[in-house]
Amino acid sequence: MTIVARTDWTREEITALFNMPFMDLLYEAQSVHRANHPRNEVQLSTLLSIKTGGCPEDCGYCSQSVSAESGVKATKLMDVRTVLQAAAQAKDGGSGRFCMGAAWRNPKDRDMPALIEMVKGVRQMGMETCMTLGMLSADQARQLADAGLDYYNHNIDTAPENYANIISTRTFEDRVETLENVRDAGINVCCGGIVGLGEAREDRIGFIYALATMPHPESVPINALVPVKGTVLGDMLADTPMAKIDEIEFVRTVAVARITMPESMVRLSAGRESMSESCQALCFMAGANSIFTGDKLLTAPNAGDDSDGALLAKLGISAMQAAPHGHMEEAAE
Ligand code: SAM
Ligand code: DTB
Ligand code: SF4
């Protein structure tokens, strides 16, 4: 399925959405949601860190950067069998997509054969595949596409104007180049970012504006910063608790993402563990329709299957059987 939604949003329009009375914004977002997606359904994905820590990039939020003193131990790339065992477990737990993440600036060509085996193995189990490995060359993207990779996650993370305040080892344009390589290879794009980095409303506007004016990602993860001690931003937040993102402002960001990218899946990603049930419910109302399940993200804790199961049951939300953009669904048509 190709996304045809408009990409000519103006910054003024996005600002006006952020400024709407909260109830009007939620009503609008839920209306857009219902016109484009099955109601009361969320897509469930499971994350696995296949290569943890020791990352040469200096993203100020990340526990896996060599610049952070977070105590995360660096590991080598996991072997294919261990990855496939974890995938089988995720499938048993009802997950429809398995996302494999590596703390790399980019994969080395010598890593490609193992990565390709992982994609093929997970697909054989009947699950959708997603990887997030840092920057990809056009050739690497093609190799992963040939193996059957369904999604590639590569976030713009924040507004282009704010990028250099958060990461200095690469540019916003580097990110866009990988996104183009991924899209050109025919892989679905998963691209979003983080709020709660201490950014201003203007930066959140700039972040959504950047996403909504590019070819819309099939999936848009909105992460709330998980503050980790020993990272620049985690420590900043510990010193200035007032900097924590306001929940209503977080929900507004989700709603504006839903309205401006109506056909995309909007994923309520990191940060759910410390979010109230009511805030998560408001995010679903605002059009979020995808979450990570399991009790761990890559290195940080996640809400966990028991509390998620209880919350979804309480809200009358069920697991989506097939995401609208996956190769799996196309194969079934
Ligand atoms: N190294 C690869 C990369 O950066 O593209 C893949 C893994 S990286 C951990 C994937 C995304 O996780 C980042 O782009 C960021 O948006 C999110 N992330 C990382 N640490 C986070 C944190 N502490 N809180 C919230 N989101 C986080
Ligand atoms: C994304 O946007 N969020 C996920 C996924 N893409 C790979 C990762 C969140 C990571 C949270 C911090 C951690 O677990 O270390
Ligand atoms: Fe490395 Fe990704 Fe963490 Fe940045 S977000 S330090 S690129 S693992």
Q: Is 62 a catalytic residue?
A: yes
Beta bridge partners of 65: 55
| Residue to mutate (ligand 2; options 48, 73, 95, 132; most atoms within 8 A of CB) | 132
Q: Is any atom of ligand 2 closer than 6 Å to the C-beta of 294? A: no
What's the number of domains the chain is made of? 1
Ligand 3 pocket, CB under 6 A = 55, 57, 59, 62, 64-65, 103, 134
Q: Is any atom of ligand 2 closer than 6 Å to the C-beta of 271? A: no
Residue 243 DSSP label:
G
Dist. CA 102 → ligand 1 center (Å): 10
Does a structural domain hold residue 169?
A: yes
Does a structural domain hold residue 324?
A: no
Cα–Cα distance list, 6 to 17, 117, 138, 261 (Å): 16, 37, 26, 8
Does a structural domain hold residue 1?
A: no
Mean pLDDT of the chain, nearest integer = 93
Q: Domain residues for 183?
A: 11-316
Alpha-carbon distance 200 to 34, whole Å? 30
The per-residue pLDDT for 332 is 37
Ligand 1 pocket, CB under 6 A = 55, 61-62, 101, 103-104, 132, 134, 154-155, 157, 193-194, 223, 225-226, 228, 270, 298
Helix axes 80-92, 112-124, angle to 10 degrees: 30
Say which amino acid occupies 330. E
Tell me the pLDDT tens digit for each residue of 73-96: 999 999 999 999 999 999 988 888
Choosing from 123, 204, 258, 267, which is the catalytic residue?
267
Q: Is any atom of ligand 2 closer than 6 Å to the C-beta of 231? A: no
Lowest pLDDT segment from 169-173, 188-192, 239-243, 274-278: 239-243
Dist. CA 102 → ligand 3 center (Å): 8
**3-state SS assignment for residue 288:** coil
Dist. CA 294 → ligand 1 center (Å): 17
Dist. CA 297 → ligand 3 center (Å): 14
Q: Which of 281, 260, 156 is nearest to 268 (CA)?
A: 281
The per-residue pLDDT for 331 is 37
Q: Do the Cβ atoms of 261 and 221 come closer than 8 Å?
A: no
Does a structural domain hold residue 202?
A: yes
Q: Is 99 a catalytic residue?
A: yes
Beta bridge partners of 42: 319
Give the number of the atom of ligand 2 that is nearest the alpha carbon of residue 302: 14
Torsion of CA 288, 165, 106, 206, to 10 degrees: 40
Phi, psi angle pair for 63, to nearest 5°: -70, -15
Q: Is 191 a catalytic residue?
A: no
Give the number of the atom of ligand 2 that is nearest the alpha carbon of residue 155: 2
The per-residue pLDDT for 186 is 97
Percent of the chain with pLDDT over 70: 95
What is the pLDDT averaged over residues 299-303?
88
Tell me the pLDDT tens digit for each residue of 198-229: 999 999 999 999 999 999 999 999 999 999 99
CATH number of the domain to which 301 belongs: 3.20.20.70
∠ CA 254-264-306, rounded to 5° = 65
Q: Is any atom of ligand 2 closer than 6 Å to the C-beta of 162? A: no
Tell me the pLDDT tens digit for each residue of 28-79: 999 999 999 999 999 999 999 999 999 999 999 999 999 999 999 999 999 9
Q: Is 267 a catalytic residue?
A: yes
Does a structural domain hold residue 29?
A: yes
Global confidence as pTM: 0.95
Number of H helices, E strands in the chain: 13, 10
Q: Give how far the C-alpha of residue 253 lies from the chain's centroid of Cα atoms, to the nearest Å.
A: 14
Does a structural domain hold residue 331?
A: no
Q: What residue owns the CA closest to ligand 3's atom 4?
A: 59
| Sign, CA torsion 158/160/162/166 | positive
What is the pLDDT averaged over residues 300-321?
88
Does a structural domain hold residue 6?
A: no
Indicate whether 296 pLDDT > 50.
Answer: yes
Does a structural domain hold residue 3?
A: no
Choosing from 59, 170, 175, 272, which is the catalytic residue?
59
The per-residue pLDDT for 327 is 44
| Residue to mutate (ligand 1; options 50, 57, 61; most atoms within 8 A of CB) | 61
